[in-house]
Chains A and B, each alone.
Chain A
Amino acid sequence: MAETLLETAGLTKRFGGLVATGEVSLSVAPGEIHAVIGPNGAGKTTLIGQLSGELIPDSGSIRFAGADISRLGPARRAALGIARSFQITSIFREFTTLDNVALAIQARAGHSFRFWRAARQDASLRDPAFAALGVVGLAGRADLPAGSLAHGEKRALELAMALATGPRLLLLDEPMAGMGPEESASMVRLLAGLKGRFSIVLVEHDMDAVFALADRITVMVYGRVIASAEPAAIRADPEVRRAYLGEEGG
Chain B
Amino acid sequence: MGGRCGAIFVALAALALVPAVATVAEAPFYIGLFARIMVFAIAALSLDLILGYGGLVSFGHAAYFGIGAYAVGILSYYGVNDGIAHFATAFIAAAIAALFIGFVSLRTSGVYFIMITLAFGQMVYFVGIGLNEYGGDDGLNIARHSNFGAALDFDRPVVFYYFTYALLLLFLFLGGRIVRSRFGMLLQGVKSNERRMIALGFPTFRYKLAAFVMAGAVCGIAGALFANLTLFVSPSIMHWTRSGEIMMMVILGGLGSLVGPVFGAAVYLILESVLSRLTEHWQAVLGPLLILVVLFSKTGLYGIFAVSRRRSG
Instruction: Answer yes or no: do A and B interact.
Output: yes
A residues apposed to B, CB below 8 Å: 52, 54, 73-76, 78-79, 83-84, 86, 90-96, 99, 102-104, 106-108, 112-122, 125, 143, 161, 165
Q: Which residues 26-66 in B have Cβ within 8 Å of A in the complex?
A: none
Contacts of B183 in A (CB 8 A): 112-115
Rounded to whole angstroms, the CA-CA distance of A41 and B125 in the bound complex is 51
A119 in contact with B181 given A103-B189, A113-B210 (CB within 8 Å): yes
A128 to chain B, nearest CB (A): 14
A73 to B198, CA, bound (A): 9
Query: Hey, which chain A residues are within 8 Å of B124, CB to CB?
Result: none
- What residues of B have a CB within 8 angstroms of the CB of A108 in the complex? 201
Chain B interface mostly helix, strand, loop or mixed? Answer: helix
Residues of B within 8 A of A (CB): 177-178, 180-186, 188-189, 192-193, 195-204, 207, 210, 311, 313
Q: Which residues of A contact B178 (CB under 8 A)?
A: 115
| Residue from the list B177, B186, B199, B204 in contact with A116, Cβ < 8 A | B177
| Complex: A113 Cα to B185 Cα, angstroms | 11
- Known: A74-B199, A94-B188; 20 extra A-B contacts, CB below 8 A, are A54-B195, A73-B198, A73-B203, A74-B198, A75-B202, A78-B199, A86-B196, A90-B195, A92-B188, A92-B192, A92-B193, A93-B192, A103-B186, A107-B202, A112-B185, A112-B202, A115-B177, A118-B313, A120-B185, A143-B311
16 contacts between A and B (CB under 8 A): A54-B199, A73-B198, A78-B199, A78-B200, A83-B200, A90-B195, A103-B185, A104-B200, A106-B185, A108-B201, A115-B178, A115-B181, A116-B181, A143-B311, A165-B200, A165-B201
Which residues of A lie under 8 Å from residue B185 when comparing CB positions? Answer: 99, 102-103, 106, 112, 119-120
A120 CB contacts on chain B under 8 angstroms? 180, 185, 313
Contact A52 B199 (CB under 8 A): yes
Chain A residues, CB < 8 A from B181: 114-119
Give, as a whole number of angstroms, the nearest-CB distance from A89 to chain B: 10
Complex Cα–Cα for A9 and B189 (A): 35
Interface centre among A76, A93, A120 (most CB of B within 10 A): A120
Given contacts A115-B177, A118-B181, whether A84 and B199 have CB atoms under 8 Å apart is yes
Q: Is B182 within 8 A of A117, CB to CB?
A: yes
In chain B, what residue has the closest Cβ to A164? B200
Question: Which A residues are in CB contact (< 8 Å) with B197?
Answer: 103, 107
Q: Which residues of B lie under 8 Å from residue A54 when comparing CB positions? A: 195, 199
Interface pair A121/B200, CB less than 8 Å apart: no
Measured between beta carbons, the chain B residues less than 8 angstroms from A125 are 182
Smallest CB separation, A170 vs chain B (Å) = 12
Task: Flag if A92 contacts B189 (CB, 8 Å).
Answer: yes
Contact A119:B184 (CB < 8 A) given known A75-B201, A75-B202, A92-B189: yes
